């Protein structure tokens, strides 16, 4: 019974972390690999429901200014804010760029690491590894909070 519980808890912890990476990657890839992507600044003009809209000012070579782009609303985004952004290819959607964008992209992973730490500590009884996992998740979330 002990081996089955250990395998199940390890599989659950891995599943949670992989889900966090998978969810984060859809945004993180645009922030990490910016070569050839349109980079610039978005001036937020309005926020409704779960997204904010605004204008895009190009800062990278080959990027074109746009009258209307949108970003998923996050905490701290308000009208008049100027955000460094990267345009997702073939769309009007942008993601936060620079340091803030890096941390914001990995927020799902940070949460997943915190959840996995509970499984590792409680289910697998690996206290030190659980504390390290929780610390890594907390640092990601703290980085997102600090960078805005």
Per domain, the residue ranges of the chain are 2-31+106-147, 37-95
pTM comes to: 0.86
Q: Check: CATH 3.40.1350 for 37-95?
A: no
**For 3-46, what is each residue's pLDDT tens digit?**
999 999 999 999 999 999 999 999 999 999 988 899 999 999 99
* pLDDT at position 75: 59
Q: Return all residues near 101 (Cβ < 8 A) that are at least 6 apart.
A: 31, 84, 85, 86, 95
* pLDDT at position 106: 96
Please state, rounded to an integer, the average pLDDT across all residues of the chain. Answer: 92
CA gap 51, 32 in Å, rounded: 22
Q: Select from 104, 93, 103 the least CA-distant residue to 54.
A: 93
CA gap 70, 10 in Å, rounded: 39
Q: Select from 71, 77, 144, 76 the least CA-distant residue to 113.
A: 144
CA gap 44, 58 in Å, rounded: 15
pLDDT band at 142 (very low <50, low <70, confident <90, very high): very high
pLDDT over 80 at 73, yes or no: no
pLDDT over 80 at 105, yes or no: yes
Contact 103, 38 (CB under 8 A): no
């Amino acid at each position: 019974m002990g081996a089955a519980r250990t395998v199940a808890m390890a599989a659950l912890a891995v599943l949670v972390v992989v889900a966090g990476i998978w969810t984060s990657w859809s945004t993180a890839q645009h922030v990490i690999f910016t070569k050839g992507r349109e980079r610039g600044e978005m001036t937020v003009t309005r926020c409704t429901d779960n997204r904010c809209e605004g204008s895009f000012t190009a800062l990278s070579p080959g990027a074109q200014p746009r009258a209307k782009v949108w970003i998923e609303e996050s905490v701290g985004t308000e009208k008049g804010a100027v955000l460094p952004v990267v345009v997702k290819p073939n769309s009007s959607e942008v993601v936060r760029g620079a340091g803030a964008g890096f941390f914001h992209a990995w927020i799902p992973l940070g949460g997943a690491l915190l959840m996995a730490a509970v499984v590792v500590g409680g289910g697998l009884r690996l206290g030190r590894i659980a504390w390290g996992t929780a610390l890594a998740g907390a640092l990601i979330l703290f980085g997102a909070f600090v960078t805005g």
